[in-house]
Amino acid sequence: MNEVDGFFAEVAANVEGLKADRDVQALSRIWVREIARHKYAYNFTWLGRPAIQFPQDLMALQEILWRIRPGAVVETGVAHGGSLIFHASMLELIGGEGIVVGVDIDIRAHNRVEIEKHPLARRVRLVQGSSVEAATLDRVREEVGGRHPVVVILDSHHTHEHVLRELELYSPLVTRGSYLVVLDTLIEDLPAALSSGRPWGPGNNPKTAVREFLSRHPRFVVDEDIEAKLLITAAPGGWLKCVGD
């Protein structure tokens, strides 16, 4: 085994160790619970735009995008556009003509202005409309065109019904070896009080939708290595790898 392979073998062993360490997993869950009260994910920008993501999750997405080298990244949920710019910056580094398609029912004017004037805007396509409406999906498919592979990230309305519908509609875009990432599955593991006033909460959220989706879609499995090495993630159980045709 050469030195490069030896390094990555050591990393794999580290990840297996983290999977088996129940204490550090429990500490990580406590940490996530406590920082959620402070809106921790709101504190970070990517190339000037608020990302509203855990930095750890962006690191994992970077690894996925570099490995998969997608022709298109589709993300539901735009907000301030920071994650779209993050994906666009990765595609810029990878090279080629890859694009990012951002879908949101309400792309606010001030956010659209900031996204469209960004230096990486040429890689971004904005689609306004409900992510679960047929017309919106048709527009997404038009933007994606023949580009492949496709990585899909779901981060819009977090109710069970909505996310399950997104999973059914957008999973066909994802081919073997690529990823379908469902964010904010951590809602299931947080105190109900943190979802007060929201239409989602424990028992009704992205994680419950993922569980139902996986029960009838063996083409996808949870990539447990990603969650194990991150420890801190907004997507526990939501890193779905496509393993079938």
Mind listing the pLDDT tens digit for each residue in 146-189? Answer: 999 999 999 999 999 999 999 999 999 999 999 999 999 999 99
Q: Say if residue 91's pLDDT is above 90.
A: yes
Name the region of 103 (left: φ>0; alpha: ψ -120 to 50; beta: rest).
beta
For the chain, domain boundaries = 3-242
The class (CATH top level) of 3-242 is: alpha beta
Q: Say if residue 1's pLDDT is above 90.
A: no
The 10s digit of each residue's pLDDT in 142-157 is 999 999 999 999 999 9
Could you give the percent of the chain with pLDDT greater than 90? Answer: 99
Cβ contacts of residue 27 below 8 Å, gap of 6+?
none
